[in-house]
Chains A and B, each alone.
Chain A
Amino acid sequence: MADVTMWFEGYWPGLKAEVGGKAASLGEMTGAGLPVPPGFAVTTAGYRAAHDAADLDATLARLLHGLDVSDTAQVSAVCGEIRDVIRLMPLPGDVESQIREHYEQLCRKCDVEDLPVAVRSSATSEDSPDASFAGEHDTYLWVRGGDAVVDAVRRCWASLFTDRATCYRVEMGYEHRSVEMAVVIQKMVRPISAGVAFTLNPANGDRSQVAIDAAWGFGEGVVSGEVTPDNFLVDKVLLEVTKRDISHKAHEYRLTDHDTVEKVGIDGERADTPCMTDAQLKAVAALAKTAERHYGCPQDIEWAVDSDLPEGENIILLQARPETVWSKKPRKTVTGSADRDPMASIVSTLMNPLHTKKD
């Protein structure tokens, strides 16, 4: 039997069918040096094993026999029962122990007991019919502890049998027994600081610089503009901080006791303290540079410095998208405006004011 679980680090393209699109993408990014929040996938083999052990085929055949898809009340009752069955079905020992062991390893890595994780479905094929509807109710955030994780996995599986997905399969004549689902379990990011980074200087298009905006806590305030962030430039090649503007950061977005993110005031010195160390800035710049190389064009990324992960592994990529302002402009060349003849160029260098001042 194929493996029941897969660490993101262990991904290779041959596993895509078993781990689904989301896990594949997270695995690919991890492999490319783009540090997404760490985690693992429960493969379709895990689902299949649980499915078989619970003899789900027989239950499905019994409950779905003669289902009239136009009778919404009946559909709702039947699908609800199926989902209840899946949510309550016992897992084969090795599947459950694998999930629990992996979760515990993740807790140990972060040195946090009952580490909060996100549990999400990972559709096995982007264009397959089961993918069309999975994803409606299949994301569980701030899940804590092994029991809750196992429970959330089952809930994800259960989302294969939403009313709409089930009716669709009946209408199209697809086999319910052949649908499968992988699940992703991933650490929830709890940022010390977070922000955005551009792989060029947005002020002048200088591609040798990474521009970083950073604030305490979650990145929401930076993205929305509610918090004036610290602003840094890091040289892309030397990975040295070349400019820093430290702002008064009056607010930050922080996690509350009831797992929501709220805006709170910052008192005292911390408001004026740089929210990033040089080492963190270099790591964010290196990450942005890697993303730019990986995607082949200037990037606009969201990132966070996680408070649980060990130093050196705590810079997390949350999102990457192409930069759109400078990337659309034609690039200004130097040779277009300067003398081609080397001597003439030297003369012009000596004649024209040279600003070695830092801007």
Chain B
Amino acid sequence: MADRFPSPFDIETPEGAEGWQDMYVYSSLFSESRREFEDSIFWFQDGVHWPKVLTPWDATFYEFAIASLSQYNTRHLQVPPANGIAFRILNGYGYLTPVPADPATIEARVANFMDRAGFYFMNWNDLYDKWMVKIRDLVKELESVNFEPLPEIEDADGVVKSGAGLGSGYQIQENYRTLLDLSLKLWNYHFEFLNLGYAAYLDFFGFCKEAFPGIPDLAIAKMVAGVEVDLFRPDEELKRLARVALESGVAEAFAAGDVEATCEILKGSDAGRAWIASFQESAEPWFNFSTGSGFYHSDKIWIENVEIPFEFINDYIVKLQAGEDLARPMDAIRAERDRVVSEYSELLASDEDREAFQGKLGLARVVFPYVENHNFYVEHWSHSVIWRKMRQLGEVFVKEGFWAEPNDIFYLKRTEVEDALWDYYVSWATPEPAAGPGRWPAIIDKRKNICAALRKWKPVPALGAPPEVITEPFTVMLWGITSDSVDSWLGGGEQKEGELRGMAASPGLVEGPARVIFTPEQIGEVQQGEILVAPLTAPSWAPIFGKILATVTDTGGMMSHAAIVCREYGLPAVTGTGFATDRIKTGDRIRVDGNNGIVTSLD
């Protein structure tokens, strides 16, 4: 077995992807000038958040997110042992490495961390209330950013006579900069609490592991996890709408086949119109929900693709008609959580241990709502708005002949969009022909071809020499990368013939036919009684969890957003297998052992 992964400098460019480096900012690339550093450490591909090729603009959130994470570790909180996460893009995929803090600085960091993090833990609820206000204000600001084609002449009252001294040409450029500023602000907010939330969780986690070396990670997650979580709310809204449809007698409209036909029928009656109003109420904000991780412009958002929620609602209507009770058994879930807590507590060695256990559990539960809920507010809601605004801007350029499709804008780097806007502004001001229409279509076309070539390349799971043991807490918890998974990747993922190993993310043992899904658009292919095999699962796939027997993913850890939903549905799940979508084919019979993190081929 190899003892290290290939060097990033030995990875070849896939055929047809030559020049891919031009799609990204130079600082995100591996480069000769930093080779000594880059070649000395271990990099892993972040398939939990960025499993697909990044188009140039989509790299924005990747870069904003990881930089914000780092900034909180190093400059705000001074997390004692951990500096930030270095990030690179290789062949279109994101690779990360946690950077340890200089041991000489740790003592000083401890004092700062205790002071700063201590303040947050002491004032958590107040600060979290403020966070909710900040994030909602931010979404409002985002919503107010609009991109319209520049006018033939400026409005007399609104612009000229108002004395503002500024016009639409300035405004459209400022709006784009505002959109970027708000995006970076969003990611700063995202990490205001997250690292601390995980730190408190890890402290409870560490206590449990010390008291009970064999305790499953899942048991710890179960004790902390919230019962009513905003991340489940979109799914709850679908169920509610299914019930309303049945109760108000408009359920038949959903059998019409497509959204337009259904809406046509609904619009024909008072009850139907009331249902549409009810849908719109749910949709803002709850259907600002991405079918993917929320990090790609290509991820579908429910509110913009209503056929997705409509189809799920129809599935729920069918289930309700068959007499199924869709309500989550809240009391039973709470009772089970209380049972688990009280039984472990009883098993502890002393009353002092029980007191410490309750204290740490208490803190973990105070911080955990943020850990569970931020995902909806940031990656789903806010990102959905940003993608919409970007498409609106893309549309303006389409009208001006810069390129063909609104989504083509995502094949520009974020700085190139500023260049294009400048070009547009100048050509409007003069007026004269813009240079862009002669420039961008060819570049976009080339980059589309590059991305297509990169998509055919299966990213290596890691690069460089792995550390002897993986102990960096965030790496283990967020990305599910452990010494075990690294060993398994080094072994090519195949320890025994026909066997894949990953994280035991949700318990249970089932056998059944596999359904391999590569993109969210394929969700509709999933049939009742199949085992879902996918690069990763997104929280918004919740409605199909009522159909499937189990889930297997290439990437993800115990606390990945996906794992939370898997456990909620009580389905076995093995995550972070590295190779499942590669090794398993649709129709293969497989056994999923969610207790031990093993997937076995039965054919």
Interface residues of A (CB under 8 A from B): 201, 204, 206-209, 233, 235-238, 240-244, 278, 331-338, 340, 342-347, 349-359
Contact = CB atoms under 8 A, between A and B. Distances in A.
23 contacts: A201-B214, A237-B343, A240-B218, A240-B507, A241-B596, A244-B596, A278-B509, A332-B349, A333-B348, A333-B349, A334-B348, A335-B355, A343-B114, A343-B118, A346-B199, A349-B203, A349-B473, A350-B473, A352-B206, A355-B209, A357-B482, A357-B483, A357-B484
A358 to B, nearest CB: 8
A238 B121 contact: no
A349 B113 CA distance: 13
Given A347-B113, A350-B202, A356-B476, A238 B218 contact: yes
A235 B353 contact: no
Given A242-B216, A349-B202, A355-B209, 4 more contacts: A237-B347, A238-B218, A243-B596, A244-B596
Among A236, A346, A351, which residue has the most Cβ atoms of chain B within 10 A? A346
Given A333-B349, A335-B350, A344-B114, A349 B471 contact: no
B110 interface: yes
A350 B214 contact: no
A336 to B, nearest CB: 8
Interface stretch (B78-86, B163-171, B289-297, B443-451): B78-86
Q: Give the interface centre of B118, B213, B483 by most chain A CB atoms within 10 Å.
A: B213
Interface in B205-238: 205-207, 209-219, 222
Contacts of A207: 212, 347
Contacts of A204: 213-214
B509 to A, nearest CB: 6
Contacts of B190: none
Interface string B125-158: 0000000000000000000000000000000000
B99 interface: no
Contacts of A347: 80, 110, 113-114
Contacts of B80: 347, 350-351
Given A235-B214, A334-B207, A345-B360, A350 B79 contact: yes
B359 A354 contact: no
Nearest to B220: A356
B483 A346 contact: no
A238 B337 CA distance: 11
B322 interface: no
A326 to B, nearest CB: 11
Nearest to B207: A334
B507 A356 contact: no
B574 interface: no
Contact of A237 (B344, B349, B350): B344
A242 B199 contact: no
Closest 9 CB pairs of A and B: A353-B471, A208-B212, A331-B349, A335-B352, A349-B203, A209-B214, A237-B343, A349-B206, A346-B203
B276 interface: no
B253 interface: no
A354 to B, nearest CB: 5
B121 A342 contact: yes
A233 B121 contact: no
A343 B214 contact: no
Contacts of A240: 216, 218, 507, 595
A354 B214 contact: no
A355 to B, nearest CB: 7
B200 interface: yes
Contacts of B216: 235, 238, 240, 242
Interface string B269-296: 0000000000000000000000000000
Contacts of B211: 208, 334
A342 B347 contact: no
Given A333-B353, A355-B469, A357-B483, A242 B203 contact: no
B117 interface: yes
A278 B118 CA distance: 44
A201 B210 CA distance: 14
B483 A235 contact: no
B261 interface: no
Contacts of B477: 356
B347 A354 contact: no
Interface residues of B, number: 57
A241 B214 contact: no
A340 B350 CA distance: 14
B32 to A, nearest CB: 34
Contact of B356 (A340, A349, A350, A358): A340
Contacts of B202: 346, 349-350, 354
A206 B214 contact: yes
A347 to B, nearest CB: 6
A331 B211 CA distance: 10
A157 B79 CA distance: 78
A206 B476 CA distance: 23
B340 interface: yes
Interface string B71-94: 000000001111000000000000
B353 to A, nearest CB: 5
A350 B350 contact: no
A343 B106 CA distance: 15
B207 A338 contact: yes
Contacts of A238: 216, 218-219, 222, 340, 507
Contacts of A343: 114, 117-118, 121
Interface in B440-497: 469, 471, 473, 476-477, 482-484
Contacts of A354: 202, 205-206, 209, 471, 473, 476
Contact of B352 (A241, A242, A333, A358): A333
A240 B596 CA distance: 10
Interface in B344-395: 344, 347-350, 352-353, 355-356, 359-360, 363
Contacts of B473: 349-350, 354
A210 B212 CA distance: 12
A206 B212 contact: yes
Which of A206, A233, A331, A334 neighbours the largest number of chain B CB atoms within 10 Å of its CB? A334
Contacts of A334: 207, 210-211, 348-349, 353, 356
A244 B343 CA distance: 23
Contact of B212 (A209, A336, A351, A358): A209
Nearest to A204: B213
B219 A349 contact: no
A224 to B, nearest CB: 27
Nearest to A200: B347
A301 to B, nearest CB: 18
Given A333-B350, A349-B203, A338 B210 contact: yes
A357 B476 CA distance: 10
Contacts of A235: 214-216, 219
From A352, A354, A356, name the one whose CB has the most chain B CB atoms within 10 angstroms: A356
A335 B359 contact: no
A206 B203 CA distance: 19
A236 B339 CA distance: 12
Contacts of B207: 334, 338, 345
Given A346-B203, A349-B199, A353-B471, A278 B595 contact: yes
Contacts of B355: 335
Given A334-B210, A338-B210, A345 B203 contact: yes
A237 B121 contact: no
B387 to A, nearest CB: 35
B567 to A, nearest CB: 12
Contacts of A236: 343, 347
A344 B117 CA distance: 11
B523 to A, nearest CB: 29
A350 B82 contact: yes
Nearest to A239: B507
A30 to B, nearest CB: 24
A209 B209 CA distance: 12
A235 B483 CA distance: 23
B81 A351 contact: yes
B81 A350 contact: yes
